[in-house]
Structure 1
Amino acid sequence: MHLFIYNLTFGQRDFNALDSILEYETSLSYKKKKIDSLLHITAKKNIKDLTFVISIYFYQNQNYTDALFYGNLNLKSIRDQKNIDSLPYRRSLCNMGLFHYQNKSFDLSENYYKSVLLQNKIDKYQGRAAYRLGVIHQENGDYYTALSYYKMAKNSYFESSYTKGEIESSIKIAEIYESLNGKLNLEKGRKILLDILNSKRIATIDEIYLQDIHLILGNLYDQEFLGDKNKSEKHYLKSLEIAKIRGDEFFETGIYNNLGNLYLKHDLEKAYSYLSNGLKHSNSNWVKAIFLHNLGIYYFKAKNYEKAIECIELSITKYLNLDKTSSIASVPEIELESSLYKNYILDAYVFLIGYKNMHKKTKKELNTIYKDIDIAERLIDYIRFEIEDQKSRLYWQKQASKIYQNATKTAFLTNNPEKAFHFMEKNKAVLLLKDIKDRELKKHANLPNDILKKEEQLKNNIYQLQDAYVFNEISKKDSIHDILFNSKIIYHNFIDSLKVDYPKYYNYKTLTKITSLKELQNSLTKEQLIIEYILNEENGYGLLIEKEATTFFELEDISLLNKYILEFKSKIRSPFITKKDFESYKELAFLLFQKLFPFNNASKYIFNKKITIIPDDNLQNFPFEALIISKKELASESYLITSAEINYAYSISFLKENQNISRNSTTNFTGFAPVYFTYDNQLTALKRSENEIIDAENFFSGHLFTKNNATKDTFLQNTHDSKIIHLSTHANATDSIIPWVAFGDKKMSLNELYTTKNNAELVVLSACNSAQGTLNKGEGVMSLARGFFYTGANSVICSLWNVDDKSGQYITTNFYKHLKKGNTKSKALHLAKLEYLKNHSLSETSPYYWSSLILIGDAGSINTSSYLWVWFLIIGSLVFIIFLWWLKKRK
């Protein structure tokens, strides 16, 4: 903690009087009475300096209530002097932020620190405020926001030549990279710290910072991607050496834990020696918790599962500061919500649930695990609710996925499909579901239009800056990053202000409801099947759900299955040329069908069914309809598509929520086909694309934009009121930085797409790889298709790989033909693909040509009927009635 104390000059009489009061050995309450009397007779001009010193005195005595009281007086006196643009004002704001932080009023603490940043004065107080905001967000698990604040602090300290603060911020940045893990992040963390050690200023760095640098470097070398035992141990021992010289026993003990953790991978006996000895010398609950956590891992590796579980459970009680009699099965709500160690606790529960699944034998014993799962779920929900940054939310969804994978295993071992379905749903598209739900609920908050417009403008500005950051050269990235980060601060401050001015706006942000298995089954017909999967590198499970029954199955030999899935995806992305190609594919596709549908008479069971598949992990963007369900001679007669109607969904909960949104569009069809892309030589002309949307418009009248008219602006202006939006163009969603879709004059990024709105029942993306994107475990693929769902679509037809122009046009044209006849979206696409197979032969029947286009989302029909006939009927009836009246009158 750092307080900002200056040599103060004020009336000597008042100073001497205050000095006497503070040094007098009596109770704080008595001192407070004397202080109040002194302030009552003190000249106004001295109040500012007196209250500043008094607030610090109470803070140092851990009396945060009085520290805040006098800190407020200090701020008021500065405001009264109309000096709010001064250094003393920013200093006092920083202190108020610190007092509130220690008083566990984290929201208020954050507001004071943000007030410092809003003054936009580059000095060490701006650095300190940014640094403390980094600490707050780091403790909440909002790592990406914390990283931005630490970078801001580092820049402020650098500009104000405050070397100590700059180094302190650099260490925290490296610490965040360690938490985020991954090869690139670990390399960044190492570079930052090694640059400090190799710089000329190394001789001026305090030993306490050198101690931290070597510790974190040890951690950065002791990681999955860059594991280097020797370098890790070298830095740990150097950190330990410094701690011993400094006499820092607390830190010394912590390093023994890190050494123990290092040796868990290399030498169990040595690991136990470090961990057990360190535990004996631990004084704080937090340090004991970490030792116990690692000892649990040690006992598990030593195959002493009972002891492993005991250690992990005890570590959780220490993290939460529970007494010895408390049970982790009934953790008080307040303890979970206010804990600063949510990430450590969640990690402990991942191990605990996994260990219990392996050790518990009877169903009764296994059922006790659900209490642990319930607490872990509550913890996950608290973390999600607190975090605004999208990257940090995705990070925690990935962590949550570990819990839900283990929880599904518990459900399988206890034969509980209801709970399994819940866990599978919580593992998929929860963030997308929350975004859609929040947007709908916000409509009922009754915010003024100018507020809604301002929020939209602020969000759009952030998206544009994110694109600018990616597309600009390296030399401009730092300045764009600073502007982007300031824009995020302004946006979050704006949202915070609405909590006070428009409480309904904030109250709509509730935890998202997940559909239950019973609710789903009640909505199904006898022809419908739902198949939902959950899998990772170690385990995999599936649920086959019918109206009256559920089949819960395990995917066996998951590592081999994942290998087959990747091989299948590779084979299907190009046409088959020889008979050997077909035979090799058939063998693999049939094997995968048996593994993914591992129940008796599967091919007969799914015959003539309407199947909705909710995939996971490696099964994302996997064309199930191209699987082989029997070993018939002709592959075209044994594809799954010939037996069943297939569509896909991100999750049932998202599907149901999205279907409930009211969509009322007056335009039936809007099509875009740029054809030529003169601004980018790498984008070839798509000469069939114009015919594709013309053919579609023959079935559904509407608006067509081709060639020079198919611009980004025409798209933005003409899609908000269309039932069907069709894009026949180039796209690249395999680009993990920023996916894009091409128009006649320029590209539109996924970030720009997020700023649009549509009201579509269906979006057809006849563009390459539009279902592809970065896979985020526990959430799904960040694709263009997902972008259209985010902006309002009820369903999306998208491509899994490069669409062949000829076959793509054939299938989409026939799709619209069958859709016009009143078929559902799923049935229309099903029939279009069957027609393609029926009317083509040899290599052209390769799944490459027909299985790329898939339907995600609502599978129902689209009502594109015109209501003009109703008006003609009404007008005709009126004319007839008038005619009869006229005849009657003549007679």
Structure 2
Amino acid sequence: MSGKELQGHCLRGSQVTKDFPRNQDALVFKAMGKLVAFIFCFFLADLALSQTIYSRDKLTLLADSLHVEGFYQEALSLRKQAVDEGKQTSKAYQTYLEAKYYHTQSAYFENLSYDYYNPNAAISKNQKTTYLDSALIAAKKAQKTYASVKHPDKKFQYQIQNRIYHQTAYLGNWKEALAEAKWGYEILKDTLSENDKTFVDLIYDIGYIYSQLGDFSKAVENYQHSLNLYRKIVGENHTDIAQAYNNIAVEYRNLGLRQKELQSLLKAKQIWEKLNREEDKNFLYKCYGNLFYWYSYYGDFEKADEYLLKKRKLREDDFSITEFGFLRNKEEVYKDELLENHDLMVYYRQRKDTAKSMVYLSKTLKTLRGKSSLQDFEVKHLIAALKATGELEQTSNVEESISCLDKAIDLADKYQLQYYTNSFPLKLQKLKLLVEVTHDQFAFSELCSQLEPYMHAQNSDGQFQFWLLKAKNARFNNNEKAASKAYDLAFKTLLNAPEKPLDTIEFQDLKPLISFETVQGLLDMAEFHTILFSLHDEGKELDKAKVKLLLASKVYNELYLGNRYNDELYNVNKRLNTQLLECALLTPKDDLFLIRALNAVENGGAKLTWSRFIFNNQRQHLKIPNELLEKEDELKAQLNFYQKKVVNEPEVSEDKLLLWKEKIYQLKEDLSLLQDSIKIKNAAVFQWNAKEFSITEFQKSLLPNQAVLKYVMTEKKVFPILISNKTLKISKPLDAALLNVQLKSVLEILKHREPNYSEPLANLSHLLLDGTALNSFEKITIVPDGALYYLPFETLYLDKKMPDISYTSSLVLFQAQGYSNFSSRQVQIGAFATSPETSRLFHAHEELVSILAEFQGEAFYNATRQQFLNKANDFNVLHLAMHSEINGNSPEFSSLIFDGEDRKLFISELYNENLKASMVVLSACDTGNGFYENGEGVISISRAFTFAGVPSTVMSLWKVDDETTQIIMKAFYKHLKKGETKDLALKNAKLDYLESTKDPLLKHPYYWSGFVVAGNTQALVANHHYWWFLIVLPLVSLILFRKKLLQFFKK
């Protein structure tokens, strides 16, 4: 079982009244009043109406109505009476009455079988089967009886057929059910239009039956057809639509279409949550389970936790054990426990927590092993558990791993005819083990020979993985020809048109197999082609590598949701970047591929900081309705409240902690939906940001004296990339291990004020900057990666030739920050300072006084957190002189420390703010420091202000000296007042400090290099020197012209 094949599925198009499970005996008493009223109303109605080709008698009319309402026992009594009284009618009508009797009898027995799911009248499974057998016998009698009618009523004929395929399916005979359902389709296709819901329900049910048979492509085809038709009939927000989305998502998973799977699940969830009906909770429960499973696969464990919590909340709801719930009897509880164990096993395996994964795996194996007979769901769970054991044991106990996989394969083969289990994915897993661990060539060849004859019957994802494994095995045996052939076959399985020439293939030519497995497979191919190029210098091999690398980047970008990076995304992206840049270095003259490779690197990078900055920065120009803003503020306040509860009360009970987490998840979702609505209503403002990054467009935005130096750090290499308005160059890769050793040593020297720093800094400068051709540029923006985030590059110069240096976390963010021009002519500074008695900042007061001597604004001494939040948007520059606190365990609960009782302003709170300032200066310790998160960069206070929409931040990389900070900040604002750009002003402030400081110890880089500027570096005030230039230039020109004129006349 490669997931949850049964999760969320159900047959739909049944004419039996299935407010099931229904207790038929209790129903007679509960609904007696309803029945009496119904009969009374019926006899007042016009009985002359005829809805069939027959002129029906009064008893049949009443029985038909009772049948439709679900009163089968009463209807059956009337049917018998009608048969007895109809013996004087035509032979055809007598046959019709007899068939009607058997049809109602069939519905009666089927309805009794639903008591298996009724907590108040639960029957045994054997009794359920007996009722279904009786129901099917009666339905087939109806079918046989009515077959003799020459001109049958097609609708009634289909009603009989509907019962037959449902009951056959409920008894587990899916192949026979498919044949019966298809016969039902033949009956209806010329009778009802595709806009009739009865017909659409049948198409949906055929899709469900195909799913049970393992024909996932056919299942998708029918589900999608029914989905399109349902929209026309019931609209988008209907439970039928949601069920179709949920079920088609499961098939997408089975087909390897992971992106489509998520899209469909989210649509189903949105509909059911919006409908908010009790009767849909069982479907929503299954949908949450599917979402939990998907996000576990994707590596977003916070989201997975959210859906696990939602699922558990529904399970604890009293509704779950009612007659409309999903834990109505021991079997449903048992199924749910098995499913929960399976999901948690997968979840912890994805989290690399083998011990916990084995705990849940053991529970399943302990429950199922040794059972003499297994039901269909037990077989599938046991197969999944054995497969997982094989995967987990393959490094520590290969023999046990193979044994478990063989047992799983035997089980799948044993139950293939009975439960339609498929051993192909299990054999693929065994092939993988044989290739990667045991290298048993005989076993590998034997297993391949078993699989190849059945390849045509497998889905594209299965075929793709098979040929990849064959290629991998051929590479292990140094068989280039066999590997090349297998890779070609693997690639063709991805294409809509396999014969299309390689050089014309674009992303849209691929099948929608958007998954990590597809990306890794394409990277394997590209790696192989690159190796062949290196060995044989065959240009066509490198061309193949380039095509597959660019396709891999496109698939990856489609898979990446644009939210927070995780380890799964990071590891795949790191490999992708390595191969793209190495390939670009192999062909230095191929400028087009270099451009496309760098675009791919940037487009595949983390987008969370960029997207949050864009939203909060651009919304400042919008007129958002007050009611939306008030609702947003309310959600933010509640979210901040519960987040602080979690961090401030760690000893709270587990139940209360889960309640708070549930509140946080729901508030985040509500806030996200509200903010999405703002984006949708202002699509013209936000849509331009959705376009892909273009390195050539980025180059056009750079000044002639400006360069960007981007570092891409991979597992073994660091790639320096120089970008200017005329240059695009990847320098020779650095050794990542060597760089990390030197970098760690230098950072220790800087932070601990160790002497003899010149030589280590010179060595690091040589490593990082030599070969980058930076000498001709006056302004340099660094895009760091990995531990380089903690390094101030100014220390690599140590002289007056130091360029103007700034920083950014990505090119796409830097480009967006550059568009945020400082529009106000009047600088207004909000300066906030605190100096607690336990840790005094003696120079903070003086610092604020000096700043406000240069610019207009207001100082807030002993500022409180609430004061800052209330006043921050009154200013276009914010200056904060205070302590900060780094939380190593939970980086997003790092904080700025204000005065007052509620002193801490957490990073997580700033994430949700919308600030109008064009620059924030964080004159506090460690504001650019924090925990480094793969792909995302440093989770710092500075980053939080970028989230909040501030395009420019000045921050500290370590605990800075109070007195030195005041000196540098004073000089920084003086230079800003002169109209200097922020990077130039900060450089000059540092140089001023070095010139004015006589003590050699205080010239240590620890004191002056810790502050850096990130983002937009434009000047705060216009530089007015050019006005003098405009005045003087004509005068000088006039004097020169006059002199030349006099010389001319003197000749």
TM-score bracket, normalised by the shorter chain, equals 0.7 to 0.9
Q: Give yes or no for the alignment of 1:799 onto 2:959.
A: no
- C-alpha distance 202-525 of structure 1, shift in aligned 2 (>3 A): farther
8 Å contact from structure 2 (residues 519, 552) kept in 1: yes
- C-alpha distance 507-277 of structure 1, shift in aligned 2 (>3 A): farther
Q: Give yes or no for the alignment of 1:116 onto 2:291.
A: no
Report matched runs for 1:240-389 at 5 Å.
240=409, 242-243=411-412, 246-247=415-416, 251-262=422-433, 264-269=435-440, 272-273=444-445, 276=448, 279-280=451-452, 282=455, 283-284=457-458, 285-304=460-479, 307-308=482-483, 310-318=485-493, 320=494, 322=496, 324-326=498-500, 336=510, 339-360=512-533, 361=537, 365-384=541-560, 387=561
- C-alpha distance 94-550 of structure 1, shift in aligned 2 (>3 A): closer
Letter of the 1:562 counterpart: N
Q: What SS does the aligned partner of 2:744 have? A: helix
Deviations 1:183-204 (A, max 9, x none): 4x55554444345556899979
* Counterpart-to-counterpart distance in 1, 2:885 and 2:635: 27
> Displacement of 1:378 after TM fit?
2.6
Q: Give yes or no for the alignment of 1:480 onto 2:653.
A: no
Question: What is residue 767 of structure 2 aligned with on the other side?
Answer: 595
Letter of the 2:612 counterpart: D
> Displacement of 1:743 after TM fit?
1.5
* Counterpart-to-counterpart distance in 2, 1:33 and 1:741: 69
Question: What is residue 563 of structure 1 aligned with on the other side?
Answer: 741
8 Å contact from structure 1 (residues 427, 779) kept in 2: no
Report matched runs for 1:84-233 at 5 Å.
95-98=243-246, 101=249, 110-117=266-273, 119=276, 121=278, 124-134=282-292, 145-146=303-304, 148-154=306-312, 156-157=314-315, 160=320, 161=327, 162-179=333-350, 181=351, 183=352, 185-194=353-362, 196-197=364-365, 206-220=378-392
8 Å contact from structure 2 (residues 354, 392) kept in 1: yes
Question: What is residue 868 of structure 2 aligned with on the other side?
Answer: 715
> Displacement of 1:537 after TM fit?
1.6
Letter of the 1:536 counterpart: T
Question: What is residue 511 of structure 1 aligned with on the other side?
Answer: 690
Question: What is residue 573 of structure 1 aligned with on the other side?
Answer: 751
- C-alpha distance 567-140 of structure 1, shift in aligned 2 (>3 A): closer
- C-alpha distance 451-830 of structure 1, shift in aligned 2 (>3 A): same
8 Å contact from structure 2 (residues 879, 921) kept in 1: yes
* Counterpart-to-counterpart distance in 2, 1:26 and 1:429: 49
8 Å contact from structure 1 (residues 671, 705) kept in 2: yes
Q: Provide the TM-score with structure 1 as the length reference.
A: 0.78
Letter of the 1:650 counterpart: S
* Counterpart-to-counterpart distance in 1, 2:484 and 2:642: 48
Residue among 761, 764, 787 paired with 2:921: 764
Question: What is residue 831 of structure 2 aligned with on the other side?
Answer: 671
Q: Provide the TM-score with structure 2 as the length reference.
A: 0.67
Q: Which moved more, 1:742-751 or 1:154-163?
A: 154-163
Q: CA RMSD in A?
A: 4.4
* Counterpart-to-counterpart distance in 1, 2:461 and 2:342: 21
Question: What is residue 714 of structure 2 aligned with on the other side?
Answer: 536
* Counterpart-to-counterpart distance in 1, 2:545 and 2:369: 53
Deviations 1:364-403 (A, max 9, x none): 653443332332233233234xx37x33688546633432
Deviations 1:774-799 (A, max 9, x none): 43444433322122122222211111
8 Å contact from structure 1 (residues 464, 752) kept in 2: no
8 Å contact from structure 1 (residues 712, 744) kept in 2: yes
Letter of the 1:656 counterpart: Q
Deviations 1:730-771 (A, max 9, x none): 223463522322211321111210122223232111222222
- C-alpha distance 370-109 of structure 1, shift in aligned 2 (>3 A): same
- C-alpha distance 498-255 of structure 1, shift in aligned 2 (>3 A): same
- C-alpha distance 645-554 of structure 1, shift in aligned 2 (>3 A): same
Question: What is residue 786 of structure 2 aligned with on the other side?
Answer: 617
Residue among 2, 10, 16 paired with 1:3: 10
Question: What is residue 844 of structure 1 aligned with on the other side?
Answer: 1002
Residue among 426, 445, 458 paired with 2:603: 426
* Counterpart-to-counterpart distance in 2, 1:149 and 1:353: 37
Give structure 2 stretches of 5+ with no counterpart: 1-5, 12-17, 23-69, 76-99, 108-141, 143-155, 165-179, 211-218, 253-259, 321-326, 328-332, 1025-1051
Deviations 1:280-325 (A, max 9, x none): 365413223223233444444555566545544533443x364653
> Displacement of 1:233 after TM fit?
5.3
Q: Which moved more, 1:323-332 or 1:791-800?
A: 323-332
Report matched runs for 1:782-793 at 5 Å.
782-793=939-950
Q: Which moved more, 1:823-832 or 1:503-512?
A: 503-512
Structure exhibiting the larger radius of gyration computed from Cα positions: 2
- C-alpha distance 611-129 of structure 1, shift in aligned 2 (>3 A): closer
- C-alpha distance 261-809 of structure 1, shift in aligned 2 (>3 A): farther
- C-alpha distance 536-154 of structure 1, shift in aligned 2 (>3 A): same
Question: What is residue 699 of structure 1 aligned with on the other side?
Answer: 854
Deviations 1:475-503 (A, max 9, x none): 1332223333344554566678789x959
* Counterpart-to-counterpart distance in 2, 1:207 and 1:552: 55
Q: Give yes or no for the alignment of 1:60 onto 2:209.
A: yes
* Counterpart-to-counterpart distance in 1, 2:161 and 2:420: 36
Letter of the 1:649 counterpart: T
- C-alpha distance 859-661 of structure 1, shift in aligned 2 (>3 A): closer
Deviations 1:807-848 (A, max 9, x none): 222322222233233332212221222233331434333322
8 Å contact from structure 2 (residues 532, 538) kept in 1: no
* Counterpart-to-counterpart distance in 1, 2:963 and 2:399: 58
- C-alpha distance 357-824 of structure 1, shift in aligned 2 (>3 A): same
Question: What is residue 781 of structure 1 aligned with on the other side?
Answer: 938
8 Å contact from structure 2 (residues 616, 947) kept in 1: no
Q: Give yes or no for the alignment of 1:644 onto 2:644.
A: no
Letter of the 2:426 counterpart: I
* Counterpart-to-counterpart distance in 2, 1:537 and 1:25: 56
8 Å contact from structure 1 (residues 421, 543) kept in 2: no
8 Å contact from structure 2 (residues 739, 767) kept in 1: yes
* Counterpart-to-counterpart distance in 1, 2:870 and 2:823: 17
Question: What is residue 66 of structure 2 aligned with on the other side?
Answer: none
> Displacement of 1:138 after TM fit?
7.0
* Counterpart-to-counterpart distance in 2, 1:465 and 1:229: 47
> Displacement of 1:531 after TM fit?
1.8
- C-alpha distance 491-647 of structure 1, shift in aligned 2 (>3 A): closer
> Displacement of 1:343 after TM fit?
2.2
- C-alpha distance 853-218 of structure 1, shift in aligned 2 (>3 A): farther
8 Å contact from structure 2 (residues 952, 1016) kept in 1: yes
Letter of the 1:153 counterpart: K
> Displacement of 1:142 after TM fit?
6.7
* Counterpart-to-counterpart distance in 2, 1:414 and 1:306: 24
8 Å contact from structure 1 (residues 837, 845) kept in 2: yes
Q: What SS does the aligned partner of 2:1020 have? A: coil
* Counterpart-to-counterpart distance in 1, 2:204 and 2:909: 48
Q: What SS does the aligned partner of 2:879 have? A: strand
Q: Which moved more, 1:258-267 or 1:819-828?
A: 258-267
Question: What is residue 412 of structure 1 aligned with on the other side?
Answer: 585
Question: What is residue 59 of structure 2 aligned with on the other side?
Answer: none
* Counterpart-to-counterpart distance in 2, 1:813 and 1:136: 53
**May I ask how many residue pairs the two structures share in their alignment?**
808
Letter of the 1:152 counterpart: K
Q: What SS does the aligned partner of 1:542 have? A: strand
8 Å contact from structure 1 (residues 398, 779) kept in 2: no
Q: What SS does the aligned partner of 2:712 have? A: strand
- C-alpha distance 156-321 of structure 1, shift in aligned 2 (>3 A): farther
* Counterpart-to-counterpart distance in 2, 1:525 and 1:95: 58
Letter of the 1:688 counterpart: H
Letter of the 1:60 counterpart: I
Q: What SS does the aligned partner of 2:749 have? A: helix
